[in-house]
Structure 1
């Protein structure tokens, strides 16, 4: 492999923001390792973009440890995009299933922690590494029915802020991207346990919610700033959404 090429690892790459990020980075000439659980989708993404891929479950410590070894063996790693995440359920705290909260914490928080720990040595040794944490505006503002997801995203925000302090002075940036309302093919459907009709109501009447490409564009923009420029936190929402509870919908 060429020594001058920039290399990235993107988790949660089988759909949505992760897949869009892989497409945009490879289009710019990056060497990208796409990571997710669904091999069929990864293989198709590789066919379309020329990326490489690994089947990895970020909630499995052994999987992530292996990813760190294999990714480092390919050469320097210049960016880790911690995109794997998601929400499960929308019950109030009083009725929530603790197993759903545990699953969200494992995926959003510990998945990001494991991947960052596994790739940090390679990011440091590259001389210009970036850790991207895909959080959410849910990491700043609570809302009814979102307790478990809100808690997980608050934890991711705290992790990014802490890691930035701990890496100050080293050649590694810590970048947090916090999207608001993004319409992807799976996020809300998974949250509502496969109920596509209920999931569609989230976006009903909203003109132009964000797309996966919009958020991927933000990721790529932050990664391609001169390396002395650190975008600590980028909050991105559709124009129709001013806050978690302020969304303009057509009648």
Structure 2
């Protein structure tokens, strides 16, 4: 399918339209944050505990330190998307590499790769991320690294299954008989044909990384120097009973964004899977 036909198929379903609109709005908010709120989102700009709707200058209110929640929401969109996107890219890079090599060569390489993959799968990914962030010290970079290094096993197994199904196909055997190098067969002919389910899984990876970052921040392991939706939730937990809106607003933003990414993933799956299009 061409890019145009994929886009048309995604936008032909209500789930695809809703997911695309929300993701686009979040991207626009992230891009517009420096223009709409040029100051530091950590600046204390008003009285603390200003409830939403009580001050026109701060429509979503202020937190326990007097920081503008709307400004934090816009700036946090960029950080949360960066965490989700970069962590997903790391997971995809590791997972596709391990899965492609394992599925193509088989034998002892497959055995070793799958044992390593199973080792990572036996450990709870979120718990492993907590340990890594705590050991390396909480920062946006260690959070991204920890989330990226703990989410790749599923991608590796998915890629391996697709590559194993393709390696015995006639066109691959013809390329081997022609003397084409293995890396070229993998990079040019096999991996591009195996990426359909991986592309769908990528949207889930981004959503999972955003949720995981929020969980780490709620536990006090977020980066105190960067505002994200997760750090906003973490900061608001101290006033959870008296000013619940401080955690509810960024929590709602995370929920809507994660839901939109899941809807977009379902629409992509329907567009790229020929059996579902019938």
More helix by share: 2
Give the TM interval when normalised to the shorter protein: under 0.3
Structure having greater relative contact order (Cα 8 Å, sep ≥ 6)? 2
* TM-score where L is the length of structure 1: 0.28
